[in-house]
């Protein structure tokens, strides 16, 4: 079946962009994601000669790594409207969620640095935009060994204050502490956006955001994390021991709209799982006919289709609203969409495996990988429980 796009308001340019990203996903991301998933060790994923670097390089050649950066600094932000950005992320999520998260984390320090007038930070952004080889890679260092959902559900409680702390001495901050092994791109990143505690007595409320290269004295890395799913996404810890960072690298960063992006990409994952199940149902013969002809399979498929369409529609609606209202985004709607999409992706992948039967448990079919990849969505980017508790206070 050709999955019909029913949004009648899409322009020809938006459709062409979506088609281009879909081809990139099918020809580059999906096969490389499968290959990386099957490597025996997480160290193999980031080794020299790994296809990971080819995926990053080809993504950079499309210029998509600059989609959130202004033209003045070498980006393409002004060329993309909110719907185009939505279509890009949904198609990337459809292809491989691990690589999608690698690409996203890789850009974060640079599009945040683009908000600063500091010449050094602006040069950092330009260098990133010009890098089509993947030599400059970012990460978002927020999660800590003792602090994950704390960032979402706590405010001024001292015992929840971040462990990575910065002390201002003259023109520099001295940074100490560790970010956990869940930092996406943690062991390969060259630059980071780091959340730093400035006043422990004020809990999570008094923290700053710094942009820095990771080649400074006193910075070390942990080993790559060995995970159940999203194995194409490198994750690992970053340790800071008396690291000196210029105070001018501390910036006022906006709240990242990660819930809406997560809703978008996991809507893509859900759609991918459904497509795999539908495709298989048309070729798998049982009882002398394709299993699609059996009523119980048809009922399962239409149930999956309803869930996927609800998740995609919810994500698209809030993405458009928040883009049009950047100063007053709807937190409850964004969180609801993130929870719906991630839960739908996991549920639909689970239903798809039931349609595949025993073959769904094998690595012969990509649905087994999609099932493992989808499960992380209810935890990463803030666990659904913690995000929901936070969002409820805005109702």
Interacting residues of 299 by C-beta distance below 8 A, sequence separation 6+: none
Measured N-to-C along each axis, helices 367-375 and 97-113 cross at an angle, to the nearest 10 degrees, of 40
Question: What DSSP string runs through 106-152?
Answer: HHHHHHHHTT---HHHHHHHHHHHH--SS-S-EEEE--BTTBSTHHH
Residue percentage of the chain with pLDDT more than 70: 96
CB 336 within 8 A of CB 299: no
Q: Is pLDDT of 339 > 80?
A: yes
Spatial CB neighbours of 27, under 8 Å, sequence gap ≥ 6: none
pLDDT, tens digit, 9 for 90 and up, residues 182-237: 999 999 999 999 999 888 887 777 788 999 999 999 999 999 999 999 999 999 99
Please report which helix (H) or strand (E) contains residue 167, including its range: strand 165-169
pLDDT at 88: 98
What tokens appear for 378 in the block? 């209810």
How confident is the model over 16-59, as pLDDT tens digits? 999 999 999 999 999 999 999 999 999 999 999 999 999 999 99
All domains in the chain, ordered by first residue: 12-130 (1.10.540.10), 138-251 (2.40.110.10), 258-392 (1.20.140.10)
Record the pTM. Answer: 0.95
155 confidence band (pLDDT: 50, 70, 90) = low
Q: Specify the pLDDT at position 323.
A: 94
Give pLDDT, residue 154: 62
Q: How confident is the model at residue 317 (pLDDT cuts 50, 70, 90)?
A: very high
Residue 1 has pLDDT above 60, yes or no: no
pLDDT tens, residue by residue, 88-127: 999 999 999 999 999 999 999 999 999 999 999 999 999 9
Any long-range contacts for 299-306 (C-beta under 8 Å, 24+ apart)?
300/351, 300/354, 300/355, 301/274, 301/277, 301/355, 303/351, 304/273, 304/274, 304/277, 304/348, 304/351, 304/352, 305/274
Would the pLDDT of 156 be above 80?
A: no
Return the higher-pLDDT residue of 7 and 48.
48
């Amino acid at each position: 079946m050709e999955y019909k796009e029913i949004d009648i308001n899409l322009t020809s340019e938006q459709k062409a962009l979506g088609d281009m990203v879909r081809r990139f996903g099918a020809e580059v991301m999906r096969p490389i994601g499968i290959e990386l998933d099957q490597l025996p060790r997480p160290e193999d994923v980031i080794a020299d000669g790994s296809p990971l670097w080819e995926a990053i390089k080809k993504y950079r050649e499309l210029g998509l790594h600059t989609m959130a950066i202004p033209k003045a600094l070498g980006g393409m932000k002004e060329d993309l409207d909110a719907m185009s950005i939505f279509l890009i992320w949904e198609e990337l999520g459809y292809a491989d969620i691990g690589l999608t998260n690698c690409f996203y984390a890789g850009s974060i320090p640079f599009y945040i640095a683009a908000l600063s007038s500091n010449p050094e930070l602006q040069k950092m952004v330009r260098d990133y935009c010009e890098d089509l080889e993947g030599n400059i890679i970012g990460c978002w260092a927020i999660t800590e060994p003792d602090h994950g959902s704390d960032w979402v559900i706590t405010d001024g409680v001292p015992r929840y204050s971040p462990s990575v702390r910065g002390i201002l001495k003259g023109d520099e901050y001295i940074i100490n502490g560790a970010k956990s092994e869940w930092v996406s791109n943690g062991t390969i990143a060259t630059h980071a956006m780091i959340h730093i505690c400035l006043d422990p007595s004020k809990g999570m409320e008094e923290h700053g955001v710094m942009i820095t290269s990771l080649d400074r004295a006193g910075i070390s890395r942990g080993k790559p994390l060995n995970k159940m799913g999203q194995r194409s996404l490198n994750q690992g810890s970053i340790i800071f021991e008396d690291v000196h960072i210029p105070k001018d690298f501390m910036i006022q960063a906006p709240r990242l709209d990660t819930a809406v992006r997560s809703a978008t990409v996991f809507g893509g994952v859900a759609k991918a799982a459904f497509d795999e199940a539908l495709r298989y149902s048309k070729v798998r013969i049982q009882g002398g006919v394709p299993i699609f002809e059996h009523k119980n399979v048809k009922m399962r498929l239409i149930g999956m289709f309803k869930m996927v369409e609800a998740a995609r529609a919810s994500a698209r609606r809030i993405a458009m609203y928040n883009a049009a209202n950047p100063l007053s985004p709807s937190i409850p709607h964004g969180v609801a969409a993130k929870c719906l999409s991630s839960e739908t992706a996991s549920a639909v992948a689970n239903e798809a495996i039931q349609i595949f039967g025993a073959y769904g448990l094998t690595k012969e079919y990509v649905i087994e990988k999609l099932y493992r990849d989808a499960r992380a969505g209810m935890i990463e980017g803030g666990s659904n429980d913690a995000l929901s508790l936070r969002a409820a206070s805005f109702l």
